[in-house]
Chain A
């Protein structure tokens, strides 16, 4: 079946630094990818929709300058958490939509900001 990977799986960084998370569709082309955030013991919250070749669409309350999304190719979307702070510590999950309209989720990236 289709696979979506995320890199890194774990990242620890200092407050004030930026962190880039990659989401790749390994065996299909994804014109649309989605980024979610999951806080401990909570559900996933959609952050933004990433469209290949165009600007991302952010959900209400998500700072686009804080969470930079780039979807430079049909198999790669990146989420950069800029000037990360401890409150940005979370589990970040991407998903990718196949041309057949099936959705696959990545394994997630756990971010800890010290």
Chain B
């Protein structure tokens, strides 16, 4: 079994400021790690994922996350946020041997203000 903990339920941030969303996981098996974003009244969209290889993964819209095995973390960062980044962000883990069965964190609401 695995669990995913997102340490912040809400993160207010000013436009063009950096943001970090924290995610820790625990699992008795190997997992893949993901960040999903959910805009108001929309479905989940994949932001980025760590499957193997380089521990630093990047998305096309400026987000990056680093897999840290020793700290069992997969924190999400963006150096400069936009108003349009206002959304709910979910960290998730999926066992490598049961691919697709996601365990989601509670979510972090990011509110970007001018």
User: What is the interface of chain A, defined by CB distance below 8 A to chain B?
Assistant: 32, 34, 36, 42-46, 49, 93, 95, 97, 101, 103-108
Q: Within 8 Å CB of B74, what residues of A?
A: none
* CB of B83 within 8 Å of the partner chain: no
B13: min CB distance to chain A, Å? 19
Q: Contact: B102 with A34, CB < 8 Å?
A: yes
**Cα of A34 to Cα of B36 in the assembled complex, Å:** 16
A-B contact count (CB 8 A): 45
User: What is the interface of chain B, defined by CB distance below 8 A to chain A?
Assistant: 36, 42-46, 90, 94, 99-107
Q: Contact: B101 with A34, CB < 8 Å?
A: yes
Q: Contact: A43 with B99, CB < 8 Å?
A: no
**Cα of A42 to Cα of B38 in the assembled complex, Å:** 12
Q: Within 8 Å CB of B106, what residues of A?
A: 42-43
Q: Contact: B99 with A101, CB < 8 Å?
A: yes
**Cα of A104 to Cα of B45 in the assembled complex, Å:** 8
Given A44-B90, A106-B43, 20 other A-B residues pairs in contact with their CB atoms under 8 A: A32-B100, A34-B100, A36-B102, A42-B106, A43-B104, A43-B106, A43-B107, A44-B102, A46-B103, A49-B101, A93-B43, A95-B100, A95-B102, A103-B46, A103-B94, A103-B100, A107-B42, A107-B43, A108-B42, A108-B43
Q: Within 8 Å CB of B90, what residues of A?
A: 43-44
B81: min CB distance to chain A, Å? 22
Q: Within 8 Å CB of A103, what residues of B?
A: 46, 94, 99-100, 102
